[in-house]
Amino acid sequence: LTRKDLLPKGRRDRTLFIVMTVMTPAITLFELLVVLPQYHDSIDALVCLHSVLAVFIVVNILGNMYRVIQIGTGVRDSGCQLPAVLLPGWRYCPVCQVNAPPRSHHCNVCDQCILKHDHHCMFAGRCVGFFNQRYFVMGLVYIFFGTLYSLIYQLDYCVASMGGMRLFFLLGQLAPHFGWLLGVFGWRGFFCSTLNLFQMLTVALSGYMLVVQAQGIWTNQTTYERRHGIVRYHAGLRRNLREALGTSWYLVWLGPWVRSPALGDGLRFDNGIEALVEGKRL
């Protein structure tokens, strides 16, 4: 991908993308270079463990999100062969001027039909669909647990920077600028309270999105299908996992470089009951 292809087209998507790609390594450097030395006087096994975990988490966040952007999941990007005639369950998209398969929807931002369209990710500036859902889900997992880990790890440092655990500490988490303007804490306390607030919002948002994705994988539903009560593709948890996270779904947590192709081609989907019967025969 070139830099032009990497950056999202819309202003909103581009802003959120820059925030994610800048804040992720910036917070990690703050933890390793500022917070960690306050807890340890020398380099020991625990310091090495925290450092390795931090790097592993950051690589997985940025690596998975890069793959979300890199892997095309649209009818044009994927290079799939579409039929010239309208098949049962398919529909014609007048914008793309192609016959679009079941579970696909047109995204006005990406300007094409997306295979097994789930939603448009504003942080990546790309749609989440059949071929890149695995990377989006794992990126969410590491954003949630990485931010929670960072929030807990820096708690003692932030409490000390804000003058100890007291009522103003709790109020400062909700409105850091008021605490700074009123002289409750200095610039370091303001920075820590702002960082804490940002991370708490990130944990809440990523946690919510992770629950939504887990529900969709559990029942093999896209966002549209959940809203409209469509459950015809639910074929058991194991098959659902293989379709969403790939055939090596149990290894994808290791990193975006692990090969785990999605089950299917994104064009044809078995009815859930038929898939369950076929699975029992096998």
Residue tagged 């002289």 (tokens) = 183
Where does 32-77 have alpha helices with state H?
36-39, 45-70
Q: How far apart are CA 215 and CA 209, in angstroms?
A: 10
Bridge partners (DSSP) of residue 93 are: 98
Own/partner pairs, 21-29, CB within 8 angstroms, 24+ separation: 21/62, 21/65, 23/198, 24/58, 24/61, 24/62, 25/58, 25/62, 27/150, 27/195, 27/199, 28/54, 28/55, 28/57, 28/58, 28/150
Q: How far apart are CA 184 and CA 178, in angstroms?
A: 8
Helical axes 237-245 vs 272-281, angle rounded to 10°: 100
Q: Active site residue: 107, 110, 113, 121, which one?
A: 121
With residue 17 as reference, give the H or E element that holds it. Answer: helix 11-30
In the residue annotation, 121 being an active-site residue is answered as yes
- Kindly list the catalytic residues: 121
